[in-house]
Every structure is written in C-alpha cells, then in structure tokens.
Amino acid sequence: MPKRLTQNVNSAYIEAANRLRPSSARRRIVAYVESYDDVAFWRGILDDFETPDLYFEVKLPGRDSLQKGKRQALTNVLTADQLGNAMIACVDADYDYLLQDTNESTRTFNSSPYVIHTVVYAIENYQCYAPSLHQAVVTATLNDRPTLDFEAFLREYSQIIWPLFIWNIWGYLREDYKGFTMMDFCGCVSFRDVNPYHPELALAMVRRRVNQKIAGMQQKHPDAKKSYARAKQKMRDLGLTPETTYLYIQGHTLFENVVMPLLEPVCSMLRKEREREIKQLAVHNQQRQCELSSYQHSVMPIDIVLKKNTDFKDAPPFQRVQEAILRVVEMNSPKTTPTNEISSPTQTDNP
C-alpha cells in the first residue's frame, strides 16, 4: 500500500511551507510528544517560548494507530532525516540522559538538537517536584495547615536510595543490567502507604530493603568498587546529587508508589479536619449540609492536581530543558527573543 503524503512530511517540508506564507505570518514548529498526557505538559512549557513571529504545534506521532511512547515518537515516525529546525521531538529522558554515549542509541538521543528531553526521568518527576507538593495538597484540600515537610521527606528518601540507584545505573552503563533491572530497583524503593504521624516508619522500611540489596550486590560484584565509584562520579558530573535522586528514578514508580502513598493520607486527614470544622461552626443543619456540599464539590483528587502541576519551573534540571528549547527558537527566529529570556551556555561562555 502506498504511503500517505502526510507520512513524508519532515522538517524541510514545514520550513518550505513557512517560507511560502506571508512574511507577516508566524512560523510554525511542530513538536511531537509521546502521549496524551504529554500534550498538556509540553504545551505549558512551549507557551513560554512563543513569540509574535513563531509558535509551536504539539502533536502525537501516530497517524495510523494509537501507538504511543518515546520509541514511536523517535523511531517509527520521526526518523533522523525528518527532524530539523521546524520539527522536533519532546520526550521523556528515561535513563538515556544518564547513559550519555553508552551506545549508538543514547549517543544520538543526547547529541541531537532536535530532541528536547526532560533531563529528569519523565514528566511525572517534575509533577512530583518536592517544593511544589505543599501547594498541591492545599489545592486538593483547600486546607493550608502545615503537616508533613514534603521536601525533607523526599530529600531523606533520596539519600537513602542513592547508593542503590548508582548500582542500578552501574549495570546499565555496562549494558549488563539483567542481574538488577530497573523493575528490581523500583520494587526496593516503593512503599504502599505512609503514616502521616510517623513518616519515618516508611523511610526505615525502605532503608532496610535498600541496605539488604546493596549488601547482595557487593557480595555478587566484589571487584566493582572502582567502576561503581566511576558511575557515581559520572552521575554527579551530570548534575545528580544524593538529595535529588527521586527526580531520576522511574516516573511512574515515583508518582504511584512514593508520592501518592505520601500525599493521599495527608489529604484525607486535612479534608476530614475541614469537614469537622464546618460541622462545628454551622448554626443549623441546612447550613451544615450546604457548606459541606460546597466544600466537597470544591476539593480535587490529589492525583489530578499533580498531573496539572506546573510549579516545577525553578527546578535546576528544568533550566537545561529551557536552554534546549531556546536554541531551537533561535535557529528559527534569530532576531526574535522569546517571552522568557534565558541565556544559552554558549552566550555566557563567549561574551
């Protein structure tokens, strides 16, 4: 069956179409993303870089099926000769950013200026950015009473899992990860629930599992001391720290098996507290029912709040995402400055 004309569309085609439009028309950059959730996420980011002369159109890669994912976005549709100034891919980094030039696939992923990736593992890691979690809980419960220190919790959690995370990366860097897969790692660092009055119990449980696994890895690989140290230094050179490990573990695991078990009991506690307050302050039954109904219709599930979270733009890894997008904008409109001015590394290094 012959290919559709749309299947042959590439960056050069879009650039040619831009040139045929009136000089006053805005230039278009097509940004392909992995899934429906990514459309809203990347739309919120790319908005900041649109100018009176340039705009982004966020699209899914599948034209003939419902297939999603980074492989579909980068391989099945966006081959190397399709990407360019006017056609980019915006995808999760997964472990590809951390692996750098380990193999041809990661080398291409990290070297292409037309592949904009999250730097952290996935969009979920940004949605779970620790400094934004208190505001997310307030939005979900309409209760601003301080409860857990979410930043301190995730900082300690990250420090606990850091040495085991390095073991997991160590295997991937050697392309010999079958003995300790990502799923094995995620099983060690997950938990089902957190007691909001004693969050240290969840951390202690994770610490025990992590220490047991580390002991097993050290026993299994007694000669890995130097290569393990090199893997750790490589991660530090890429910007990782023991305190921010949570940003680089699998996004789904962080969202579903760490942050949600942390936030859900807190939100439940705060909602019940607010409902008790309404019942106590109500003058009569009709007022109580009316106020309770109004409150219950105003609160939101915490997972929905997190999926809409955009309070991560001050996260250090996100600055690299902004710089990558800015370079694409500059290639398309060198005389135009986007709405949020960010200096690229080359500009600051060469005054």
Q: CA 241 to CA 159: how far, in whole Å?
A: 9
Contact 188, 217 (CB under 8 A): no
Please give the pLDDT value at position 283. Answer: 87
Please give the pLDDT value at position 341. Answer: 46
Using alpha carbons, select from 96, 91, 95 the residue that is nearest to residue 78. Answer: 91
- Taking only the tens of pLDDT, the chain with its 351 residues reads 334 334 455 555 455 455 545 555 688 899 999 888 899 999 999 999 999 889 999 988 765 544 555 555 555 444 546 778 888 999 999 999 999 988 888 888 899 899 999 999 999 999 999 999 999 999 999 999 999 999 999 999 999 999 999 999 999 999 887 889 999 999 999 998 899 999 999 999 999 999 999 999 999 999 999 999 999 999 999 999 999 999 999 999 999 999 999 999 999 999 999 999 999 888 899 988 999 999 999 999 999 999 999 999 999 999 999 999 999 999 886 554 444 444 444 444 443
Contact 299, 229 (CB under 8 A): no
DSSP letter at 234 equals H
Q: CA 233 to CA 317: how far, in whole Å?
A: 17
H/E stretch holding 319: helix 316-332
Contact 35, 72 (CB under 8 A): no
